[in-house]
A and B are shown apart, each in its own frame.
Chain A
């Protein structure tokens, strides 16, 4: 009994991590921390993919998790370049100040 893990524990863990990441995106104004919260959400999704992959005994989910990692790397490269550029122009990384195109 103690050697078995109910599958929904993994899903609940993933849901919690996703929620933490989402709250980070909603609440924090530091662009870098917002970005890290997005990475956390991507990882929560990866955990769900791997869990269902294990559940179905089909490793397609692993491949998708692999591709998600590649996407995360590309996203980090371009997103951090954008943050550096904004910092060079405005000298802040607070996303509340990046509202010039909003009005």
Chain B
């Protein structure tokens, strides 16, 4: 647990540093707000449209695929860490390989379906 106490010290240092900088800025920095200064800044241009617009639902599909394959990679991590150990166990060596192959195969089916339904294309 000694490693964690070091982590704790670092956490306190980081949070303390950030808070100190913000508070000092709040106390020492000069503030002269004016109407023209608090306008939204967009490359020196006057705003044409509102920045709060809905964006396309197509982005959502990409996010879904990201999250599913993120989970897949998370399942791969312990497998990759343990693979050498599995090879030393005669009864598990083949099974460990096959089970990950099945797992990846089923998720590959998902990717194939997504591809077939033109999810990877923009329109």
Indicate with 1 or 0, residue by residue over A42-77, a CB within 8 angstroms of chain B CB atoms.
000000000000000000000000000110011011
In contact, B75 and A81 (Cβ under 8 angstroms): no
Of all chain A residues, the one with the shortest Cβ separation from B64 is A77
In contact, A73 and B67 (Cβ under 8 angstroms): yes
B76 at the interface (CB under 8 A from A): no
Of all chain A residues, the one with the shortest Cβ separation from B65 is A77
By a CB distance below 8 angstroms, the chain B residues around A73 are 67-68, 70-71
In contact, B60 and A84 (Cβ under 8 angstroms): yes
Number of interface residues of B (CB under 8 A): 9
Instruction: List CB contacts (< 8 Å) of B43-68 with chain A.
Output: 57, 60, 64, 67-68
Number of interface residues of A (CB under 8 A): 10
Q: Which of A73, A76, A84, A88 has the most CB of B within 10 A?
A: A73
Of all chain B residues, the one with the shortest Cβ separation from A70 is B71
Query: Which of B57, B67, B70, B71 contacts A84 (CB under 8 A)?
Result: B57
CB distance from A25 to the nearest CB of B (A): 22
By a CB distance below 8 angstroms, the chain B residues around A81 are 60, 64
By a CB distance below 8 angstroms, the chain A residues around B75 are 70
Of all chain A residues, the one with the shortest Cβ separation from B61 is A81
Q: In the complex, A28→B20 CA distance in Å?
A: 37
In contact, B57 and A77 (Cβ under 8 angstroms): no
By a CB distance below 8 angstroms, the chain A residues around B74 are 70
By a CB distance below 8 angstroms, the chain A residues around B67 are 73, 76-77
In contact, A74 and B68 (Cβ under 8 angstroms): yes
Q: In the complex, A40→B57 CA distance in Å?
A: 26
By a CB distance below 8 angstroms, the chain A residues around B64 are 77, 81
Known contacts A73-B67, A81-B60, then 4 further A-B pairs from the complex at CB < 8 Å, ordered by chain A residue:
A73-B68, A73-B70, A77-B64, A77-B67
A residues sitting closer than 8 Å to B (CB atoms) are 69-70, 73-74, 76-77, 80-81, 84, 88
- 8 A–B pairs (Cβ distance < 8 Å), ordered by A: A69-B71, A70-B71, A70-B74, A73-B68, A74-B71, A76-B67, A77-B64, A81-B60
